[in-house]
Structure 1
Amino acid sequence: MAKVFTITEGLENMGALSTGGQGSVYKGKRIGTVISAVKLLPTPIHTEDAFDKNFRDFQNEVEKLKKVNEDPNPHVVRILNSGLTESGNFPFIEMEFIEGPDLEELLKAPHPPLFTISETIKLANHLASALSHCHKVGVKHGDIKSNNVKFNQATGNYVLLDFGLAVMSDEQRRSSLRHAGAVEFMAPEQHHGEMRFETDLYSFGIILYELLAGTVPFPLINKSEMSRNMVMLSHVEKQVPDLLELRKNRLPEQWPDNKKADEMRVPSWLMQIIYKCLEKAPEDRFANGMELYEALSNHNDGLLNKEEVDRLISGLKSENERLQRTLAKYKQVTKSKAILISALLCFVFLGVYGINSVFNTRDSGNVIAADSTVTTKVPVKSNAKRTPDTIKKTAPVNNNPVAPQNKKTKDGLENDVPYF
């Protein structure tokens, strides 16, 4: 492809990726195979004199951008280079090229017209992390919109792109926003040329609103100046339409009823964060990206997305089924053991009872005197020592009675019974 113009030495211009009033983005190629995206700002800087305000402002913002890369964040595009083009002295920012669709593309067919709750929360965390990272080093983005946030197909992360406004002078920024800014995403104060940390948070709120509702709160009907002014005035004066009502009317028809019901249960904390970001007065919003990210983090402890919840539930069901099978086997084994133990106890009891009965009968039977004509029944206590006094003398008694065949031991007969 023929070069349109020279960007800078060692960086080949591969052609335009997008163009707009705030500048153009070109696909660049460095020596080798490194592909990049080059943001070219529309207003040239004709001097590199340090006393020139535009050049000085540009240099200051470039220095801030360099700090963004000192501790890279996976949700912020890496800045590779910046400076002035060799032809025309246009300010440019060279960034890594992210393969993947932007949010604007993800909201168009064949994709659903809105995001699921879990994916919206994922995007919210990634974008808040990006803003926190930038605001810590003093960089305000100023141009957050759906086509400036890409889904990185290689990593699965959402990435904030295009820091073109960040390096513009205040006057350049005011002029650019007034005539070419994405007014659907602009905070009320931006319509007066003001850009603050809170300004980025308003645009963040619009992004989340669009993902859940399937539309921005104040759509641009056409690109006429009148339409732009109406949208700008709406941001300043009107309250945003009911998000949940818009979401309800835009849920995909092909979704089953149970999914539709689940997808209408937007967490109240998420709604509160969105509406706080959309406050008209900057001081009523979060102060910066760090505060926003902290607010989201407070609700992310133990938070699982739908896919993780489904996996967890599936795992719990499997574990429950395994435990039920184990319990059923245990109950069967326990029942069999109980029957066996009961049978053994009955056997032991009957055995002991039978043996005890035999010995008691033999020990307390009839005593016959060898030289008597009368037989006398003598009751004998099992543990008592037999004496002549225990025998009723109704007949002549032989002083040498016949000893019983089973004389009790000293320790007692019971000790000879084997117990189980």
Structure 2
Amino acid sequence: MNTDTFDPAEDRVGAAVAEYLEARDSGHPLSVADWLARYPDLAAELREFLDDGAAAGLRVFRGRVREPDLTTDERVLGEYELLERIGGNMGTVYRARQLNLPREVAVKVLLRAGTGDRARFRTEAEAMARLRHPNIVRILEVSRGGGTPFFTMDWYPGGTLADRAEFARQPRRAAVVVEKIAGAVHHAHRHGLLHRDLKPANVLLDDKGEPVVADFGLAVPLDRTAETDRRVAGTPAYMAPEQLNGEFTVATDVFGVGAILYELLTGRPPAYGPTLAVVLDRVRLAAPVPPDQLNPRIDPDLSAICMKCLAKEPGDRYATAADIAADLERFRLALPPLARPLGPLGRASRLLREARAAGDFRALAPGLVGQAALVLGTNVGVFALLCAGASEVWVWVALFTPNVSLFVLLARERWCARERYNPARFHLWSIWVGQTTACAAVMIGSRLAAGADLSRGIEAGYIGGAGLNALAFVVMGSLFAGRQYLLGLAWAGTAVVMGVFPYAAPLIYAGLIAACCLLTGFQLSALREDRA
């Protein structure tokens, strides 16, 4: 699945050259004059091809130049003798001997005849030439003129990472190698280049085993990714999900670095399957099996780093390739990486720290702090009034004063934020209003059920209110802020304690409801302004 497949209908020059060379290879060469007359608007480009001495030794079939026969004179290309075919993406790579210098080099030759292919090939060479990094392949020479396009690179005798299986037995060594690859990829990003096809086969190894990122044949400038046609580019088994939609960002290469690490650790690519259809489905939908579940030698921290790179959502991955390198360095130094998997206590701690929608209600902070003082005073007052045998009217005044105050506070917040209310925010507002209303209804019902015993009715109302508060705060924990879960548990325990000491219910309720208001108010005050 590669955007560089050639279509003669899309490149008239390539089709014309293919026609000419096919006729020549079939033993019935075309007359040059007649051939040029068929394409008068392409005459300049076609004459350039005819003047290309190096092209005479190459043969074309359907727009693609056939590979040279290395047993004949075709093996000589300029100052280079092609010795062995190595591989390649947009072009074919050969191990070669430089004839005017005693050294071996790698030569990448464009075996396509179209002018568009030539332009992309030269763009690749120029992009690689701009990069100066010890872990990125070094360009030595780029061909000029109208001959067969090629460029030369340093020769790396160690093969590619795809040829090495020992890393699965040496996961810490794999981490060191990928740390260097991540640094190289970040260097390319800093210089405005996105690779788009990171995989073990595109990472070479020098004679010391150091990795060198190569094959920038699908690379595009970072500042022009939005302008790039939205065709699928890359190798399916190593693709990020967004690549299937033709979308490419830094996060795409972050996924590619993770894909390299995954294969080194497990011996297989992230999207593994018997057919292309299965592979593409897994790219879209299935998260890879964590490496430490496939290979018991792998440390869970290293597995977590790998899985963070391979997150389906780009925003869940590392922000940059440099962040991958930094986390791998922390792993190498036996420090806890940022991607360390959380245990039960860690997950619970994170759950309680989450603020969720709390930032939407930051304006309530001062009112809730004031409300804490009010509910503490009025509920202590209820206890005092009951002990003193005061008129029931005053007891109800003390009970409902904080409710009225809270309704006013919530109504003011609802009015001030009316233009930016979303469904989740309205849901929380409704929970608070419903909780307050339900507590009032329970208090009234308990009092009516108690008959002439005022104290018993009010105490039962407090116990029922505490149970309702437990339910409301747990619900708010999932929507408002994680700390509300703890308050919900506190209310559940308080309801039980009130049942044991009913006479102290107003005081117990006063202390906890004041603490809830105060803690929530302080939490809202502590939130950053940008969460509001």
Q: Shorter-normalised TM-score: what interval? A: 0.5 to 0.7
Report how far residue 296 of structure 1 moved.
2.8
Q: What is the one-letter code of the residue matched to 1:235?
A: V
- 1:233 equivalent to 2:281? Answer yes
1:74 to 134, 147, 165: 134
- Which segment drifts farther, 287-296 or 140-149? 287-296
Q: Deviations over 1:40-67 (max 9, x none)?
A: 34544427xxxxxx77666555443222
Task: Establish whether residue 2 from structure 1 lines up as the match of residue 72 from structure 2.
Answer: yes
Whether 1:26 aligns to 2:80 is: no
Paired residue for 1:190, among 221, 238, 243?
243
- Sort the Cα spacing of 1:105 and 1:58 in 2 relative to 1 into closer, same or farther, 3 A: closer
2:314 and 2:218 mapped to 1: Cα distance?
19
Answer whether contact 2:205 2:211 (CA < 8 A) is retained: yes
CA apart distance, 1:174? 6.9
Query: Which residue of structure 2 lines up, in the alignment, with residue 296 of structure 1?
Result: 328
Change in Cα spacing, 1:302 to 1:79, as seen in structure 2 (3 Å) is farther
2: CA distance, partners of 1:62 / 1:24:
14
Maintained 8 Å contact 1:115/1:211:
no
- Structure-2 residue corresponding to 1:328: none
Unaligned runs of 5+ in 1: 48-53, 222-226, 249-262, 304-420
- Is structure 2 residue 132 aligned with structure 1 residue 64? no
How far has the Cα of 1:286 moved from its partner? 2.1
Q: Take 2:254 and 2:154, find their aligned partners in 1: how far apart are those partners?
A: 24
Secondary structure of the corresponding residue to residue 106 of structure 2: strand
Q: Deviations over 1:359-417 (max 9, x none)?
A: xxxxxxxxxxxxxxxxxxxxxxxxxxxxxxxxxxxxxxxxxxxxxxxxxxxxxxxxxxx
**Aligned pair 1:152/2:221, yes or no?**
no
**Displacement, 1:125?**
1.4
Measure the CA separation in 2 of the matches of 1:275 and 1:212.
12
Deviation at 1:209, TM superposition (A): 1.4
**Any idea what SS the aligned residue of 1:27 has?**
strand
What's the counterpart of residue 199 of structure 1? Answer: 252
Once the two structures are TM-superposed, the CA of residue 5 in structure 1 deviates from its matched residue by: 6.4
CA–CA distance in structure 1, aligned partners of residues 303 and 256 of structure 2: 15
String of CA shifts for 1:3-31, please: whole Å, max 9, x gaps.
43665x433333422256x4321223322
Q: Is the 8 A contact 1:120 1:212 kept in 2?
A: yes
What is the distance in 1 between the residues matched to 2:236 and 2:324?
A: 23
Separation of aligned partners in 2, 1:233 and 1:85: 45
Say which SS state the counterpart of residue 115 (structure 2) adopts: coil
What is the alpha-carbon distance in structure 2 between the residues aligned to residue 97 and residue 130 of structure 1?
Answer: 18
Displacement after TM superposition at 1:130 (Å): 1.5
| Deviation of the 1:33 alpha carbon | 2.0
TM-score, length-scaled by structure 1: 0.54
> Contact 2:180–2:325 (CA<8 Å) still a contact in 1?
no
| TM-score, length-scaled by structure 2 | 0.43
Which residue identity is paired with 2:175?
Answer: I
Instruction: Give the distance between the partners of 1:119 and 1:212, measured in 2 at CA.
Output: 10
Deviation at 1:82, TM superposition (A): 3.1
Higher RCO (CA < 8 A, seq sep 6+): 1
Q: How does 1:21-420 map to 2 (within 5 A)?
A: 22-30=90-98, 31-41=100-110, 43-46=112-115, 62-69=125-132, 73-83=133-143, 86-88=146-148, 90=149, 92-107=150-165, 112=166, 114-153=168-207, 155-166=208-219, 177=233, 181-221=234-274, 227-248=275-296, 263-264=297-298, 266-268=299-301, 270-301=302-333
Q: CA RMSD in A?
A: 3.3
Q: Work out whether residues 4 and 15 of structure 1, in 8 Å CA contact, stay in contact via their aligned partners in 2.
A: no
Whether contact under 8 Å (2:142, 2:151) holds in the other structure is: yes
Cα deviations by residue, 1:214-243 (Å, 9 ceiling, x for unpaired): 32232242xxxxx22321221111111232
Cα distance in 2, alignment partners of residues 135 and 275 from structure 1? 22
Greater mean alpha carbon deviation, residues 281-290 or residues 236-245: 281-290
Q: Aligned with 1:283: secondary structure?
A: helix
Provide the aligned length of Structure 1 versus Structure 2. Answer: 261
- Alpha-carbon spacing, 1:85–1:187, altered in 2? closer, same or farther (3 Å): farther
2:251 and 2:318 in contact (8 A); partners too: yes
Counterpart of 1:395 in structure 2 is none
**1:52-88 CA-partner distances (Å, limit 9, x unpaired):** xx7766655544322213xxx2222212233568545
Q: Quote the Cα distance in structure 2 between the aligned partners of 1:34 and 1:174.
A: 41
Larger Rg: 1
Residue matched to 1:359: none
Query: Residue 199 of structure 1 aligns to a residue in which SS?
Result: helix
| Equivalence for 1:330 | none
SS at the partner of 2:193? coil
Matched to 1:103, the amino acid is L
Q: 1:229 to 1:271 in 2, by over 3 A?
A: same
The answer (yes or no) to whether the contact 2:167–2:174 under 8 Å persists in 1 is no
2 CA distance for matches of 1:133 and 1:231? 30
The percent of aligned pairs where both chains have the same amino acid is 28
Partner Cα distance (2:232, 2:72) in 1: 29
CA–CA distance in structure 2, aligned partners of residues 195 and 4 of structure 1 = 39
CA shift in 2, pair 1:193/1:4, >3 Å:
farther
Bigger helix share = 2
Partner-residue secondary structure (3-state), 2:279? helix
Question: Are the counterparts in 1 of residues 193 and 219 from structure 2 also a CA contact under 8 Å?
Answer: yes
Cα pair 2:158 2:209 within 8 Å, conserved: no
- Shift in alpha-carbon separation, 1:44–1:172, aligned structure 2, 3 A: farther
Distance 2:332 2:168 in 1: 22
